[in-house]
Each structure stands twice: as C-alpha cells, then as structure tokens.
Amino acid sequence: MNIFVFNCGSSSLKYKMISMPSEKELFGGEVQRIASRTAKPSQIIHEADGGKEIFVESIKNHLEAFSEVMKIVEERGYAKPDIFAHRLVKGSKEIGKDALLDEASFAFLEDLKELAPIHNPPIIEVIKACKEKCPEVPQAIILDTSFHSTIPDYAYTYALPKKLCEELGIRKYGFHGISHQFVSEEAADYLNIPVEKFNAVSCHLGSGGASLCAIKEGKSIDNSMGFSPLQGLVMSTRCGNLDPAVLLKMLAYEEGDFLKVNKILNKKSGVLGLSGISSDIRDIIRAKDNDAKSEITFEIYLWRIKKYLGSYLALLGRVDAIIFTDTIGETVPLVRKLVCSDMDFFGIKLDEMKNRHAESYPCDVSPPESKIRIIVVKTNEELSIAKRAYQLLRHESLLAEKDYRS
Amino acid sequence: MKSLIVFIPENFFIKYFVFNICPNCSTDASMPSGKGNRKYELLSSGRVRFRSPVSSKNEIIHLINNFKPASAAIRVLYGGNLFKDVAVYDNSTLSKLEKLIRLSPLDISAVIKLIEVINGISPATEIKLFFETAFFSELPAREQLYALDNNLMKMEIRRFGYNGLTHKAVIEKMRDKNRRAKKIISICLDPVPEVAAIINGKPVMISSGATPVEGIPGDTTCGELDPGIIILIEEKKKLGAETINEIITKKSGLSAIAGKRTSISDIFEDEENNKKASRIFKYKILLSCGSALAAMDGFDAIAFSGKYIDAAPKLASWLISELKRIPVKEFSPQVFYFYERVEEIIADYYTVQNSN
Amino acid sequence: MYTLLKEHAENLRQKASAFTAELVRTPSISYDEKYAARLVEEKMKELGYDKVITDDLGNVFGILYGYENGPTLLLNSHIDTVLPDENAPGWEGSPYSGKIKDGRIYGVGSSDCKSGLAVQIYAAHMLLHRALIPLRGNVIVAATVSEENGLSLGVQHLISKTLADMKIKVDYVILGEPTDLGLFYGHDGWAGFTIGMDSPNPNFLKNAANAVYQNLHNAGKANKINGSEDFMSVHQPEFYNDYQDARILLNRRLYKDEDTGVLIENIKDITLQNVKEKKSINLDIKLREEIQKLANGDSVQVRYLSNAWETSPFSPLMDRARQALSSAKCKTVPGKWRLPRIGMGTAGSILTKRFNIPTIGYGPGDENVVHTAGEYVEIDNMVEGILGTASIIHNLVGIPVFGWTSDLDF
C-alpha cells in the first residue's frame, strides 16, 4: 500500500511516498523557506532512487508548494497513492484523534483552522487540494498532540480559574508529538534500551518551530510548547515565553486588536524580531561574528534551550539520552555543542569530532565517559505518520470485514 | 544612635518601621528586639492608608515629628535600568523616577508622592531609595531579553527580579557562613514567589519577568502562561486587557487551582487537602531549579526566604530529594533559611553604612 | 486597582453631591452661565488641575496632562440649563433649591447635566491625584455653554477655536449627559422648520393657516412612536401685517440619514392637504434660521438642525468603555438616548458629524426627568458614575497597570 504523506511546517512542506508495510520510501522531499523572510530563497529538494534534485523557486504559500510537488510527481510517473496522510497540529472535539476523513468530517475542517491558526490552515488547504486533485483517494489525519496525552495534570494545568479553563479548553497540549515519539523510539532502539524503560529529553529544533520534550519510560511527561505552539523556546518568528503583562500592554496599545498582537508574536518576533535580519538561525550564526544583534540573538536562542534542558533533566532524574532532531538539531553541530556545554553537573559531555562529523543517523556524539548519551536522530515524521495511517486503514478494513461477515 | 524610618509602599497602604540604628554598639548590648547581634532596634511599626481616601499625610507628619528621623528609607519595587544601587534622593532622582512611571505606574507614583510629603514636613531628613530590581540590573542580556522586537513596543522590555534586596542579603549572609558556596539557588517564598540563580554574588537567571506575574504561580498570580491563551481569551470573550489583568493577577495562581483563597503557606500546612495546588507549585519550583542548575552548571546551596518562610522546610525536603535523583557523584547541597524581612535588611544596611 | 477606585469614589460622595447642589443653586440658563462657570473654575483649581481656562465664550475647562501627551480624552458636560417654569407644580422647594433629600439632589439641571459635570470633574481628579494612578494621555474636563438651545454652540467654539488655537486635538469624547449610567452611543436628531404663508385675502390666510396647523398637528399625533417620544411638534400660527402674513413653527424628529430637502417636500404635501384656499396661498417652507447673541457679545447665525448620530456600538471606544465598566463591576448597559421631547439633544451630533470625534455618553442623570419640575439625580448614581468614569479614563488614557497586583501586599 502506498501512503503519500504531507507534513506542513510553518514554513515548509515535507512529502514522502512510503510503501507499507515494508516502510520503503519510494520518493520524498521538502519545500523549504515557504514565504520566509530569510537570506535564501525558497527551494524544493526532491529525493528518489538515491539521487537528489534541487529546484530553486519562489513559493509564496503552501498551496503553491503542493502544486509544485504534484507537478514533480506527475512528471516522473510515480505510482498513485492509496491514501493521503496529513499531520495535523491540533484537533477538535469532532476530530480529536488520528482518523480517516469521511464526508462528514470534511465539514469540520474549517473549524480546525482556528484551533492552531498558524499551523492548521496550510494543512487544511493541502487536504482540500488533495481532495480536488484525487477525490477517489482516501485521506487520514494524524495528530501532533496525541503523544502528549500522557502529560500529567500537574504539568498540563495552568494556574487560571478552573471555569475559564474548562470553557475555553485551556491546558497544555504540547506539539511535535509525532517527531518526539519517532525519535525517542529510534534512539531507544539504537541504544538497545526497551522503550518502556527509556528516559530522554528530545530536542526538536526546526527551522521554524522548536520544542523540547521530557520523555519518561517512553511516554511524554512535558513539552515546552503549551496550549499553542507559541509557548516555550525562541523560534524563527515566534517569541516563546513572554510575561503575560507585556502581552496585555501590547493589547492595550493596539486598542484591543488581538489579531495584530497575535501576528506580532507569531510572525515578527523570535529570531527575526531579535536580529532584525533573518528568521533562520543559520543565517544568524553566519552573521554573529560581525553583527552584535546577531550575536545576542544566538545567545538568547541557545540560553532558552539550555534552561528547558536543565528543567527536564531535573524532572527526569535518571536520563539515558538527549536527542537532537529536525533541521537545526540534525544539521547544525554548533547548536548541539553549545547547548551541551557547561553541563558537567549533569554529567553531559560531547565529543567534538563526532559532533562535527555526524552524517549518518542515528549517531552518538558523546564520548563514553558522558553519563548521558547525546544522540542525533533524523526525524522521520512522515514514516511515523505513514505507520499510523496504515494502522488506521487496516483497522478500518478489519472492521469492514467483520461487518461483512456478520 | 540615629533614628531611621523605613517605608514600604504597597498599593493601598504604606508600611512603616521605625528603627534606632546603633552601628557602634557592642553586639552584646541588649536590644529589645532580640535576635542577638543586630545593631538596630525596632521602636515602632504599622501601616498607614496612603493612596486610600482617608488622608494619611497627618499620620506621616506625626511619625516624623515624633521620631525626628535622621534618615528615611523607601523601598521601591522597580528601578528599571536607571537605578542600579541604593540612591540618595535629590532633584535628578525625581526626573529619573518619573521616567519609570510608564513601567511601574502604581508603585512609582506612590513613592513620588511619599517623597513629596516627607520633604514637605522635614526637608532635612535624608531620603534613600532601595530598589528591589537593582540587584538584577546587570542580569546578562541572554537572560534579561525577550525574543521581541523592542522597536514595536517603543519601550524597553526586559526581565527583572523583584526581591533583589532579599536575594542580595541572602548571598551576603551565606558568604559569611560558607565562603565556598558560590552557586546559589535563592527561592523567595512571597505571595508572588521568585527563583534566582546567583553565581559569585551575581544573578544569572530569574524566574520573574518584565513584571512579577511571570514565573512561578503565586497566591493569586498565574505565573508562566502561554501567550496564545491571552489572545484566545480576548478573541473569545472580548474582556479587554484590564479585566484579563484582574484575572491573571488576582483570580489565578494557587487560589484558582485550589478553588478558594489560599497561600503558599496554607498549601504546605495542609498538603493533604491541597494536593493539586501543592503538586503544581512544587512542580514549577522543580522546573525552575532545573533551569537554575543549567544556568550555573550545578549549585552549592539553596536558600529560602520570604513571607512564607515557614513553608520552606517541607519544600526544601521535597526539592532536595527530587534533585538527588540526578546521578551526580558528590551531592550535598547546603540548605539555608533566611528570616529577615525587607525592612530589617534596610536597617542592616544603615548599620554598616553608619559604622563606615 | 478597582477596589482602590471604588473606595475613593465612595469617599467623594459628600463632596461631589455638595458641589452639584451648589451648581444647581446657581442659575445658569443658556447664554447666562458665568456664575456657575466661575464655580467650576474655582473647583478645578482647588482640585489641582494642571491648567484651568475660561475661554472668550465662557466655556471652562481643566486639563490634566499625561506623560506621553496623547491620546486626549475630552469629558464634556454643558453647564447651562433650560429656563424652568417656576410655577409648575413638582419642584422641591424651587427650581434652584438644590435640595438633598432621600439620596437625591433636586432642582433644574440636577440631571441635565450638572451632576454629570461634577462626576467628570471629580473622576479625573480622583484617578490622578487621589488614587495616584498616572496618565499617559491627557484629560480635559470641559463645562460648556449654550447647549440647551439644542445647537451646542459652546462645544463648537471650544473645539474649533479654543482648543484648536492651543493645538490640542481631541481623540475621544465622553458626554456627561443623563444616561442613567447606561453607555449611550447616539440618538435621533431634530430639525426646526418655518412655514411661511402669505395671501392678499386675510380670511383665506386665517382659514388656511388654521387648516395647515390642524393637518400638521394630526400628522404629528398619528406618527407618535412608542407613545412617549414626540415625532413632530407644531406651534400655533402667528399672524403679521394685518393677517397678510402668517408663520407656523414646526419641529420634527430626524432619523438617521434623513434628508431635510426631502422632508420639506413631505411637509409641503401634508401642509396643503384639503386646504380649500390653497390656490390663493403662497407657501414657503424652509429650515429655521435666526441670529443669536452669545455671552461674549458676538452674534451668530444658527440653523435649527441637529442631525441624528451614532458611534458604532462595536467601535473601539465603546468596546473599551464597556470593558472598563465591566472590570470595575459597574453597570454596563449600552443604548441610545430616547429624547422624550423634540428639541432635546446632545453635543454628540456636532462632535461626530462636524469634527469626526468618536463620542459616547455616560452620566448619572435620568433623561426621563430632565426639563420637568421634578428633576433630580440619584446620589448613588453619582458615586458609581465617578468610579465608572475614572475606569473609562484609565482604560483610554491611563498608564496600564498590568502585572502589578493592586490590592495585595508584595
């Protein structure tokens, strides 16, 4: 069965066609820097049969990205998918867990946009585009929040009036769950530790969003993002943690225009807001030696990760591994080095050579004397999504067979 | 002996403490206030309604006429980037204070008014201003700054701590007791609590933010909050920033979790009946201490202070047992309890100053 | 912060009501407001307004400057009253008694709108000087003259001349007109028409004029809305030149977007219905205009036209005022003035239509008792009005106090 996975990030679109149950990747790629204010333009990296092609295009939104991807797929005559599978950042009451979309659920798609107004809209648009292009192909949605359903109540509860929380569904949901789950399972496997005994801090550091996850015995017990993907680390254009009173002041100065304030915090803050030159931390790293603002931006970016790392290490006590993943976590050794530096108290040591030459994943960039392994894992959310979509389809087929028999 | 009045403006009241300062007295001299080697004596204390309708100008006049203080000390919550140390009041101080009104409107306006009243009654009384934020004025940039474009707000936004006088006094006391304790986690258990990481007497991390609300949930303050939640509340309920502020400063925190008006002290006194609030509070403290450990690469001691110091032993015991799960070879952190209140810290300052 | 403000407002009960009573006891009919204006000026100086000015028309205003010099909020109440009918039954003593009884202040102008003025004066002062809550923008509290003739001449002069000369631009206005502490965002207008008639035949003119009057009077009665608001009021015909000329004065309520040109045509149709003598009558209907002499001796041509106006109930001004009142736990009831009698109005029409300034109303008086012998204001309303007005001022131009808990210790 061929599963075509779409994974929309805030500024990227990853895609893969995976054959299940063999887990063989038929082709895949990523559209990067969609509508991003970075030094480099958007591009599509397409990989198939061991080769890689790069197309530099100006891509303004996710619909255009989808269109370009389908052009590439059609031009190369790949097999048609049996199902489209999409990563959804946050669900709703009607679509609260991994699910196959039926006609009824298509009606609720628009409501999903406002639950995660930065992330869900591009996913919804791509879902609709898939329906339009291939109406006969079923679609599945896999939720980012599912892995974090094990976060305990004392960690997901905000200290706000109970009635308000119940009315508005205010609690910590956590995000990047698909990735955190995948990389923790890969790391546990790599270290030969049964997942149910595995403790780790997973650092999903993407070019757009980023989060840390505390994993105890294979289960998520905290995540740096919260009710929305705005909380936590310094991200490309998102502010992360912020004094609520500052936000209220912004709201007052903007005469209650919460949409404007939301846009500032989601699109004009973070690395971009601090540096004033780019939202991509890689650009900042290149500039920091000659630009004071870039230097302090990089310091603040690292410092926030380090503090969360310390929090989760203290929370977990015994930790088997720190996992780095996604674009920055996998490809920027300097970030790994600096986050793990001056952490002798926790027994963390990093091997500089291994770290600099980490190319095949997963790999261990810590020396033997480090008390905690530092593992770099290439996240494969698409494979994780494909697996879950496959399970869903199988479950549905089994149910259908049962119905037929009875 | 010289007399000193310490004023601590709150928002409704001003607390006052009248001390006799005796820096050259022998520490064996008996002091009615007890506590051994203090070189000051508390003569009187109370509070006057200051911003409230019934004018308290007369009470302050009475105080000053009665005690004829050589010095008046005013505790100021917020000194911003303009006040990095104790400041002697003069004309330039007033214009600097006025610049801070935008950032701390309630406290600074009360302080300015109080200074006006004192100067009016007794121009000869030296006034010194003690800023809670001064200790944090040199917080490293990576800790003090938010990931915001400051041009958007047209004002500088940065983190401070709001119990700087206490944290500083804790460090100095600890230095006397244990010179080897360089890395200290200082936890101030006040109604709006605060955790600071301090290396060699300099803070490197603070749980509070641009205002005291951020960080650890307090008696009625929400603590750390996803900014998306405020946006959501405004979008769905259109309450306006003022009403949301009332919610997050007066209707949140441990009281919201417990479903009744409560305090950190109450929670620890009866943990059995306050399980959820206690669990959440301890959890947040643990996470904050973990950040402090990363910020300092370890620690030598934890110090507790603040109004709810009575809750400290239970919290300390739990915290140490949690931190001991980190597999580190040599781990025997000192725990230190600091009982002095802000007015005593200020009085202490005068004993040192005057003896010099 | 709101607990603090509430305590202060309650504490000002006696002072605010005493000042209102004093204002009521000081007659100030339109164009003769100077003694009351002087009282206001003295009070503002006593309370410590940064600047207190009386302009050449007799408007008095006090300014409280904020730290950022903007935005600027104008709190406006007129100081003039209608000429009371001293013989009408129902006055508590006399129209100018200012009697305080059973929690009320009685007398002409108590509701409309001397209590509104007192509330505004004390609210602004209380916020800044008593509760010590600083401002970022400016607050101007203005007692304006010549409003009760329905044409808001005082406000017009204040904005277009006095404040313009001082280079002050007003961003919002809150009127202290009676709203019974509702948050009001507009009202109908009204227009005055002159129906001129002439005929060489005096008998024809007499009959025609009386028939015209009857037509208009019946039309007015037939269109009465809600039973209490006047739709149209017609005066008896006046005759001149040995019954060769006649004049009928007509006032008609104006609704939103109604055009006076179209109205004149409608009036013409009604006027001459079934009038036998109409062929012998020359009819001239126009908007009423006349020359009025102001307190400063200037003469001005006034048109009897006050357009209907409305600030959007969903505008930022309404939103923030509503939120402020809600935060302070004050009554929050949006609405519009009903204006039971034609000729009633506020300066809102001029402020929104001519000057484009967002305007709302919030005052302690009750429009049902204004211009009546039993006019009064509830003192409880005044106290809540002080709290509500101060909260709105703070929300619009105060320095936000976010993050700093107010009523607790640190």
- Which residues in A lie closer than 8 A to residue B157 (C-beta atoms)? 243, 246
- Which residues in B lie closer than 8 A to residue A271 (C-beta atoms)? 147
Tens of pLDDT along A346-357?
A: 999 999 999 999
- Which residues in A lie closer than 8 A to residue B224 (C-beta atoms)? 241
In a domain, B352, yes or no: no
Measured between alpha carbons, how far is residue C109 from residues A142, B4, C20, C82, C97 in Å? Answer: 69, 54, 9, 8, 11
Smallest CA–CA separation between C331 and chain B, in Å?
A: 15
Active-site residue flag, A111: no
Share of chain A above pLDDT 70, in %: 95
Structure tokens at A397: 């087929």
Measured between alpha carbons, how far is residue A129 from residues A44, B235, C269 in Å? Answer: 19, 29, 63
A139 and A21, same domain (yes or no): yes
- Is C111:C81 a contact under the CB 8 Å cutoff? no
In a domain, C402, yes or no: no
Q: Is the pLDDT of residue B337 over 80?
A: yes
pLDDT band of B23, cuts 50, 70, 90: low
End-of-domain residue from the set B131, B149, B165:
B131
CATH number at residue C228: 3.30.70.360
CATH number at residue B70: 3.30.420.40
Beta strands C104-106 and B202-206 are unpaired
A132 and A25, same domain (yes or no): yes
In a domain, A406, yes or no: no
Q: Is C70 helix (H, G, I), strand (E, B) or coil?
A: coil
C171 and C208, same domain (yes or no): no
Residue among C320, C395, C402 minimizing CB distance to A245: C402
Rounded to two decimals, the pTM is 0.87
Mean pLDDT confidence for A234-238:
96
pLDDT band of B7, cuts 50, 70, 90: very high
In a domain, C371, yes or no: yes
Beta strands (DSSP E) in A177-283 are: 200-205, 210-216, 219-223
B293 and B204, same domain (yes or no): yes
Amino acid, single-letter form, for residue A166: E
CATH number at residue C46: 3.40.630.10
Smallest CA–CA separation between B120 and chain A, in Å?
A: 35
Q: Is A135 helix (H, G, I), strand (E, B) or coil?
A: coil
Question: How far does Cα B318 stand from its chain's mean position?
Answer: 24
CATH number at residue A264: 3.30.420.40
In a domain, B51, yes or no: yes
Contact C403 A256 (CB under 8 A): no
- Is B253:A162 a contact under the CB 8 Å cutoff? no
Tens of pLDDT along A13-23?
A: 999 999 999 99
Does A49 lie at the interface with B, CB-CB under 8 angstroms? no
Residue among A226, A274, A346 minimizing CB distance to B226: A226
In a domain, B64, yes or no: yes
CA–CA dist B222, B214 (Å, integer): 7
Tens of pLDDT along C109-137?
A: 999 999 999 999 999 999 888 888 889 99
Mean pLDDT confidence for B27-35:
45
Contact C399 B110 (CB under 8 A): no
Question: How far does Cα C369 stand from its chain's mean position?
Answer: 14
In a domain, B323, yes or no: yes
Catalytic residue among A82, A98, A102, A144: A144
Q: Is the pLDDT of residue C177 over 90?
A: yes
Smallest CA–CA separation between C409 and chain B, in Å?
A: 6
CA–CA dist A147, B53 (Å, integer): 56
In a domain, C298, yes or no: no
Cβ pairs bridging A and C (under 8 Å):
22
End-of-domain residue from the set A143, A159, A177:
A143
C84 and C182, same domain (yes or no): yes
The most confident of the ranges A30-39, A43-52, A313-322, B231-240 is A313-322
Does B262 lie at the interface with C, CB-CB under 8 angstroms? no
Mean pLDDT confidence for A310-314:
98
Q: Is the pLDDT of residue C13 over 50?
A: yes
CA angle A327, A189, A209 (to 5 degrees): 20
pLDDT band of C298, cuts 50, 70, 90: confident
A203 and A57, same domain (yes or no): no
ipTM exceeding cut-off 0.90 for this assembly: yes
- B78 is in which domain, residue-wise? 2-131
In a domain, C405, yes or no: no
CA–CA dist C167, A147 (Å, integer): 62
Contact B107 C404 (CB under 8 A): yes
pLDDT band of A241, cuts 50, 70, 90: very high
Residue among C320, C402, C403 minimizing CB distance to A256: C320
Contact C399 B213 (CB under 8 A): no
A218 and A322, same domain (yes or no): yes
Tens of pLDDT along C135-145?
A: 999 999 999 99
Domain count, chain B: 2
CA torsion C179-C181-C186-C190 (nearest 10°) is 0
Q: DSSP state, A201? A: E
C212 and C123, same domain (yes or no): no
B329 and B226, same domain (yes or no): yes
- Which residues in B lie closer than 8 A to residue C313 (C-beta atoms)? none
Mean pLDDT confidence for C375-389:
97
Mean pLDDT confidence for A66-77:
92
CA quadruple B242, B245, B250, B255: dihedral positive or negative?
positive
C79 and C17, same domain (yes or no): yes
In a domain, A303, yes or no: yes
Q: DSSP state, C26? A: S
Residue among C11, C399, C410 minimizing CB distance to B105: C399
Mean pLDDT confidence for C386-404:
92
Q: Is the pLDDT of residue B32 over 50?
A: no
For residue B34, what pLDDT is reported? 39
End-of-domain residue from the set B131, B159, B188:
B131
Measured between alpha carbons, how far is residue C136 from residues A225, A243, B31 in Å? Answer: 35, 22, 48
Structure tokens at A343: 């952490």
- Is C159:C284 a contact under the CB 8 Å cutoff? no
Q: Is the pLDDT of residue A100 over 90?
A: no
B126 and B26, same domain (yes or no): yes
B74 and B187, same domain (yes or no): no
Selected residues 290-309 of chain A with any CB under 8 Å from a CB in chain B: 296, 299-304, 306-309
CA–CA dist C124, C65 (Å, integer): 11
B49 and B192, same domain (yes or no): no
Does A256 lie at the interface with B, CB-CB under 8 angstroms? yes
- Backbone dihedral region of A41: left (phi > 0), alpha (psi from -120 to 50 degrees) or beta? beta
- A125 is in which domain, residue-wise? 2-143
- List CB contacts of C6: < 8 A, sequence separation 6 or more: C328, C387
C64 and C142, same domain (yes or no): yes
Q: Is the pLDDT of residue B230 over 90?
A: yes
Contact A270 B235 (CB under 8 A): no
C280 and C214, same domain (yes or no): yes
Smallest CA–CA separation between B203 and chain A, in Å?
A: 15
Beta strands B71-76 and B2-9 are parallel
Smallest CA–CA separation between A134 and chain B, in Å?
A: 36
C14 and C128, same domain (yes or no): yes
B187 and B321, same domain (yes or no): yes
CA–CA dist B110, B105 (Å, integer): 9
Q: Is the pLDDT of residue A273 over 70?
A: yes
For residue B355, what pLDDT is reported? 54
Residue among A160, A168, A273 minimizing CB distance to B256: A160
C176 and C209, same domain (yes or no): no
In a domain, C408, yes or no: no
In a domain, B222, yes or no: yes
B71 and B206, same domain (yes or no): no
Range with the lowest mean pLDDT among C37-41, C186-190, C260-264? C260-264
Tell whether omega for the bond before C113 is within 30 degrees of 0, i.e. cis.
yes
C95 and C131, same domain (yes or no): yes
C236 and C271, same domain (yes or no): yes
A65 and A198, same domain (yes or no): no
Q: Which of B170, B181, B142 is nearest to B291 (CA)?
A: B142
Mean pLDDT of chain B, nearest integer: 89
In a domain, A242, yes or no: yes
Residue among B148, B236, B295 minimizing CB distance to A269: B148
Domain count, chain C: 2
- C197 is in which domain, residue-wise? 190-292
B228 and B287, same domain (yes or no): yes
Mean pLDDT confidence for B168-196:
92
In a domain, B139, yes or no: no
Selected residues 170-199 of chain A with any CB under 8 Å from a CB in chain B: 170, 172
Contact C407 B219 (CB under 8 A): no
- Which residues in B lie closer than 8 A to residue C394 (C-beta atoms)? 242
For residue C226, what pLDDT is reported? 46
- Which residues in A lie closer than 8 A to residue C323 (C-beta atoms)? 256
Does C326 lie at the interface with B, CB-CB under 8 angstroms? yes
Tens of pLDDT along C217-258?
A: 888 777 654 444 578 888 899 998 888 899 999 988 888 888
- Is B105:C134 a contact under the CB 8 Å cutoff? yes
- Report, in this order, helix, strand and coil percent for chain A, each rounded to 5: 45, 20, 35
In a domain, A186, yes or no: no
For residue A303, what pLDDT is reported? 98
Does C102 lie at the interface with B, CB-CB under 8 angstroms? no
End-of-domain residue from the set C292, C316, C336:
C292
Tens of pLDDT along C315-374?
A: 989 999 999 999 999 999 999 998 877 778 899 999 999 999 999 999 999 998 988 888
- Which residues in B lie closer than 8 A to residue C323 (C-beta atoms)? 238-243
For residue A399, what pLDDT is reported? 66
A137 and A240, same domain (yes or no): no
B79 and B193, same domain (yes or no): no
Domain count, chain A: 2
End-of-domain residue from the set C292, C326, C345:
C292
B113 and B185, same domain (yes or no): no
Smallest CA–CA separation between C209 and chain B, in Å?
A: 58
In a domain, A232, yes or no: yes
In a domain, A52, yes or no: yes
A218 and A132, same domain (yes or no): no
Does A92 lie at the interface with B, CB-CB under 8 angstroms? no
In a domain, A156, yes or no: no
Q: Is the pLDDT of residue A112 over 80?
A: no
More confident residue, C152 or B220: B220
C162 and C217, same domain (yes or no): no
End-of-domain residue from the set A82, A110, A143:
A143
In a domain, C194, yes or no: yes
End-of-domain residue from the set C267, C292, C317:
C292
B189 and B322, same domain (yes or no): yes
Question: How far does Cα C286 stand from its chain's mean position?
Answer: 25
- Of all residues in chain C, the one with the smallest CA distance to B307 is C410
Q: H/E element holding B153?
A: helix B150-153
In a domain, C149, yes or no: yes
CA–CA dist B341, B216 (Å, integer): 21
B322 and B191, same domain (yes or no): yes
Does B351 lie at the interface with C, CB-CB under 8 angstroms? no
Mean pLDDT confidence for C375-398:
96
In a domain, C179, yes or no: yes
Contact A244 C400 (CB under 8 A): no
Tens of pLDDT along B204-216?
A: 999 999 999 999 9
Smallest CA–CA separation between A249 and chain C, in Å?
A: 7
C198 and C178, same domain (yes or no): no
For residue B52, what pLDDT is reported? 64
Does A227 lie at the interface with B, CB-CB under 8 angstroms? yes
H helix runs in A240-316, sequence order:
244-253, 258-267, 270-275, 281-287, 292-316
Residue among C4, C399, C408 minimizing CB distance to B191: C408
Range with the lowest mean pLDDT among A168-177, A353-362, B47-56, C90-99? B47-56
pLDDT band of B60, cuts 50, 70, 90: confident
